[in-house]
Amino acid sequence: MDKAVEQSEGTAINVAEEVSPLDTPKAQEVIAYTLGTFAGVLTNEELMSLDNSLKAFILGESTRQTSVNRRISKFRTHDVYHFGWNIAKRLKIPNTMMAEFLKSQFPWQLADVEISTIAKKLSSDEGAFTLPKVEPRLPLQPYPLAKKLGIC
């Protein structure tokens, strides 16, 4: 009888391993939002790097690669915060973990901001920003950021 329990538990584990966290609807929504929102804002290399880093982050792997280490005209610190808030709320990621991810991916933009401050300000509406927060109960659609920033 113990072997039957072990076999059924082993089967359950194998089935669970086949479903990647990247294949969940929320992860797919976050990835599509990220790629669609930053299309035209980031170079193809930066966008691919951010995509790879985001997927590694979702999988719980370390992200050593910086995606964007330059100034983007009219793209503000609060835009980075709101991007982080939008994806953190859907993936149920703590603010501090999201802040660390954002700081690793946008180091130029967040150079003068501590991780603890980023974590506190993810949902802040104070100051100027272009990228809006999207309530978690609403669909997370790609935002026309390039158009709103006047890049295209």
- Tens-place pLDDT, residues 103-127: 999 999 999 999 999 999 999 999 8
pLDDT at 17: 58
pLDDT (tens digit per residue) in 3-21: 444 454 555 555 545 789 9
pLDDT at 132: 96
User: Across the strands, what pairs with 39?
Assistant: 42
pLDDT at 5: 47
Q: How far apart are CA 102 and CA 84, in angstroms?
A: 7
Within 13 Å, how many C-alpha atoms sit on residue 29's CB side?
A: 16
Mean pLDDT by 10 residues, the chain (152 residues): 49 61 96 98 97 96 89 94 98 96 96 96 93 96 96 82
